[in-house]
Amino acid sequence: MASTRSATRQQAMYRALLVLYPRSFRRDYSEPMAQLFGDQLGHAGWRVWLRAVPDLTRTVPTERIEEIMARLGTGARVAALAFIVVGAVAVSVGLGGGAVPILAIAFVAVLITQRRLFASTRHGEHAPLRAAAVQAWWAPLAALLGVAMVVGGIGTIFEAHNWGGRVFGSALLLAFGGGMLFGLMRRPFDRLAGNSMILLATIPALAFFWVIVPAVLAILVWIGVMSSGFSDRSPAAPAMP
């Protein structure tokens, strides 16, 4: 049993650790959680920390991810997905075939531990990544195309055989690649502007259509953008009398 003073101090320490949880979770549950910890402390003494610390390390990331996903708009969720896909591709390229089992294990671990992000449940908002993937499946492809153009642009600076290629080739690739990524980020806030930039940025991939993979990606991006609604601007409101 802990003395009253020690128990108060330990409860205050636990209460301070609750700051790790998202604000909305803290607002609703920090008081009962601290109270519960105090009850456990009175019963089991300092040994309660042996349970509380693993509990914190397990539940804080879960609540954080859930809170972030609930707060993000579809566009931002898509950007997160795109980031994950591009990161996975970068790891694959960097590590070669050895990355495949690592990525597969990471994917399965996320799928198991964060099933709510993907699973279809009673409420649509409980499957944020699934909703994002269904509504904007093409965005990771666009992100991949954008990153490839940026990487190609940087490579061209060093690899082109003449100054014209170095300056114009790299500038064009960097501009189009940057435009694609900027368009993806802009789209959640201004769909028309974002989509316009994304489609414009597919020009190099379509122009060099004999390099088959980027051309196919660009076509898929076009299909995705056009099928998900190019503009969501509502008609102008009628003038007030």
Partner 1 sequence: MQQGQPSAFPPLPSATLHILVALASGEKHGYAIMRDVEVLSDGAVRMGPGTLYGSIKRMLADGLIEETEERPDPDLDDQRRRYYMLTGLGERVRVAELQRLEALVRRAGSPDWARRRVPRLGEA
Instruction: List interacting residues with partner 1 (CB under 8 A).
Output: 21, 25, 28-29, 31-37, 39-40, 51-52, 54-56, 58-60, 62-63, 116, 120-123, 126
Residue 31 or 232 with smaller CB distance to partner 1? 31
Distance CA 95, CA 63 (A): 32
| SS3 state at 112 | helix
Closest CA to 153 of 196, 204, 187: 204
Residue 36 CB, shortest distance to partner 1, in Å, is: 5
Residue 49 or 138 with smaller CB distance to partner 1? 49
Residue 1 CB, shortest distance to partner 1, in Å, is: 16
Closest CA to 136 of 72, 48, 92, 47: 72
Residue 133 CB, shortest distance to partner 1, in Å, is: 18
Residue 58 or 71 with smaller CB distance to partner 1? 58
Could you tell me if 129 and 77 are in contact, meaning their C-beta atoms sit under 8 angstroms apart? yes
Phi, psi of 46 (to 5 degrees): -60, -20
Residue 4 CB, shortest distance to partner 1, in Å, is: 16
Residue 59 or 74 with smaller CB distance to partner 1? 59
State the virtual CA torsion across 192, 193, 196, 197 in degrees, nearest 10. Answer: -150
